[in-house]
A = this chain, B = another copy of it.
Amino acid sequence: MKEAVEIEQPLSSTQRAVVVEKGESSRSRAYVAPGLNRGISIIDLVLRLVALVGTLGSAIAMGTTNETLPFFTQFIQFRAEYNDLPSFTFFVIANSVVCTYLVLSIPLAIVHVIRSSARHSRLILIFFDTAMLALLTAGASAAAAIVYLAHKGNVRANWFAICQQFNSFCERISGSLIGSFAAIVVMILLIFLSSFALVRH
Which A residues are closer than 8 A to B by beta carbons?
Answer: 3-4, 7, 10-11, 14-15, 18-19, 22, 24, 28-29, 76-77, 80, 84-87, 119-120, 122-123, 126-127, 130-131, 133-134, 137-146, 148-150, 152, 154, 156-160, 162, 184, 188, 191-192, 194-196, 198-199, 201
Cβ of B131 and Cβ of A188 under 8 Å apart?
yes
Cβ of B130 and Cβ of A192 under 8 Å apart?
yes
Cβ of A77 and Cβ of B4 under 8 Å apart?
no
Across the A-B interface, give the 6 residue pairs with the lowest CB-CB distance, nearest first. Answer: A142-B145, A84-B156, A138-B141, A141-B141, A137-B137, A159-B159
Cβ of A24 and Cβ of B7 under 8 Å apart?
yes
Q: Which residues of B contact A191 (CB under 8 A)?
A: 126, 130, 191
Q: Which of A11, A194, A196 has the most CB of B within 10 A?
A: A11
Q: Which residues of B contact A157 (CB under 8 A)?
A: 84-85, 150, 159, 162
Ordered by A's residue number, 10 sampled pairs between the chains whose C-beta atoms are within 8 Å are A7-B29, A10-B18, A10-B22, A14-B18, A123-B196, A134-B184, A145-B145, A158-B160, A159-B159, A191-B191
Q: Which residue of B lies closest to A3 (CB)?
A: B28
Q: Which residues of B contact A7 (CB under 8 A)?
A: 19, 22, 24, 28-29
Copies of this chain, count: 2
Q: What CA separation (Å) do A191 and B14 show in the bound complex? A: 29
In angstroms, how far is the closest chain B Cβ from the Cβ of A5? 10
Q: A131-B188, A156-B77, A157-B150 are in contact. Are A87 and B145 (CB under 8 A)?
A: yes
Q: Which of A11, A152, A198 has the most CB of B within 10 A?
A: A198
Q: Which residues of B contact A4 (CB under 8 A)?
A: 28-29
Cβ of B24 and Cβ of A15 under 8 Å apart?
no
Cβ of B126 and Cβ of A137 under 8 Å apart?
no
